[in-house]
Amino acid sequence: MADTLSLQGKTALVTGAGAGLGRSEALALAQAGASVLVNDFTDRADEVVAEIVAAGGQALAVKGDVSNWALAQSMVATGVKEFGSFDILVNNAGITRDKMIFNLTESDWDDVIKVHLKGHAATSAAAAAHWRAASKAADAPVYGRVVNTSSEAALFGPAGQPNYGAAKAGIIALTLSTSQGLSRYGVRANAICPRARTEMTASVFEGIDQSTGLDALAPERVAALVQYLASPASDEITGQVFVVYGKMVTLMAAPQIEKTFEAPTGAFDAAELDAQLTTHFKGRGKYETYSAYSIAALEKPALAVD
């Protein structure tokens, strides 16, 4: 492995790593040489640790609710205490409570926002405080990588996932703030929008036949990108959003200004807005919104398997 891809001597935390994407990401980071803190709410964390150790790596289970601020701080401290550093944060933990907005309950909303968005924020805040203090103590940038897990739901706004889509959109904003706020300390932060066949997505992708070859939705395909973004090779990449699945990685562009409307007298009244906006939006297509529905065009070629 090239030196710029090696994670030897680095310590990583992967949340929700007991199965699915998190498990694959933890194994990939360990394979690259990182010592891995495996977080999960269940005893499956122990199983992943056992896999890593059996393969010759170093790992430690850190169980508990990822949205707990104190637990997040203790996980960072555990990395430093047990492995000598804390260098990589991969936020993956998540749940779904899919409902249309008119059927959404308060607990459906709170549970999803708590695990996804608060969970990302808790660990990011703990890691950020550690890296900032370390950079100030060294009077130099330190090594830090954050890989957050968003979703195309944040870009589409799916009708049946208002809670999930909102959480994932928040994660993109959190990633941008983390990138902006920590770049001076040497930290790089990026977000991925993966498609992978896991327990959480089993019903979503059940119609796709992958009976031969490597599953186009295999979590290992996503883990390769996470491994790369955690490495020194990615030093010039920060504040970016990637869609990843199948045999492709797609870099998303920032939203663009479509049109600016100007008030003829310096301040709009309703009639003047009507004169400009009504004309502009007349006959506009169903998918011509802020949503990035054009990404759906990637689906067919991306699911092909080499």
Which residues have a catalytic role annotated? 151, 164, 168
What is the distance between the alpha carbons of residues 146 and 171, in angstroms, rounded to a whole number? 12
- Under 8 Å CB-to-CB from 200, ≥6 apart: which residues? 20, 94, 95, 96
Q: Is the dihedral of CA 4, 8, 11, 13 positive or negative?
A: positive
Residue 125: closest CA among 67, 61, 165:
67
- The answer to whether residues 107 and 95 touch, using CB atoms and an 8 Å cutoff, is no
- The answer to whether residues 18 and 47 touch, using CB atoms and an 8 Å cutoff, is yes
Contacts for 295-302: CB closer than 8 Å, 24+ residues apart? 295/152, 295/155, 295/156, 295/243, 295/250, 298/243, 298/248, 298/250, 301/246, 301/248, 302/195, 302/216, 302/245, 302/246, 302/247, 302/248
